[in-house]
Structure 1
């Protein structure tokens, strides 16, 4: 019984120390304090990561992904809410690992270098947002990761294409706007290429990087041909031709 009381007392002292650290961290936003909190709580990552070691992923990779979740939890935790940090952090860490397995389970042909970039992009976004106190630009993310802007956009575009598209999504051009819900069933040859996400992802491998970027900006960012012409520094007619060529390749692969 005495041993149990000592353990409980030690645990309470540890929790109190951690609470004080978080209070200082939220006042000073200190990297040094953040590192100290990480050292005191990283045991949570190992406990959670070891639950997934039999799923074909090395423990070191699981720890890396889990550490990203821990850092997110540290930066978002509010010591004043009355919830212990371990209770708050556990679902965040586990959610990060589960998301990794979900993204990794794609049954379409996505280059490995692209899928491996996704957790790195998430980590870079989280770190830069914390440092800059605003959302980082694509240029800042690419510079942080040491990759080209095209590689970053390509990775983000593939991830966007994998996600479900809402039927309420509105597609807008210079002189036309309609929701996907209303467009389904219309004889629109461009829309036909986007019926099946998995098929589209495979078909995208047939495109050049420039064509993939155009498709991403055009259909998943909703940019008009005029806006794309400004971005690519070419004429609107050239964008129209490039778009038709890319869609033609997609249709050929799908059909």
Structure 2
């Protein structure tokens, strides 16, 4: 009876990690498909990329029919970015750069769902912050033309990563950052004449820095640690029990041989 309890303990401890491993493996396959589609778009092979996105949709639907692994927010975001990416590949008049941006946004979302730590969108920190610094310098110098040019470039990069940011950050944090950026874009016409313009720029810079820094923390998932502890403890207990039984059995055999020899 005790041995059976030990085995059951191991099974229940391992089951969550096995389920997670299956989900991770399936999503990694979709992540690869999304990445391949992006590479084809960069090579201007739009028709081939569109076929890959259709394949992604089929496999994604099959995955959802077997397991419910996404929240409603995640499902809405990945659906919206997928539709934008698909539309970008079938809109003949869309410039190449915008096609790449749309598919990149989708690809980053797929990765954000699959990655537990340091998602792919955080690798754009250098590019985003460099553009922001150029924009900040234009604000400081009062250069309206340069400011608008850099703001447009910054918004393009920001909008490319924002859906992924929504997935990875708490709603309050992502909405706070977005409100500052939206204000900057909405009032760009009179922004340079605002007395508190540099204060606003400094706040945005702090929020962006915090955003990237928060996602680069390589902390272990507490739930994963609990699974490891539970699984490890069950295995150790089982091995201890098996070892004790073996020791007891050997001891009894030795005693039996001794009695036989006597």
- Please say whether Structure 1 and Structure 2 have the same fold, judged by a TM-score greater than 0.5: no
Question: RCO greater where, 1 or 2, for CA within 8 Å and sep 6 or more?
Answer: 2
More helix by share: 2
| TM norm structure 2 | 0.30
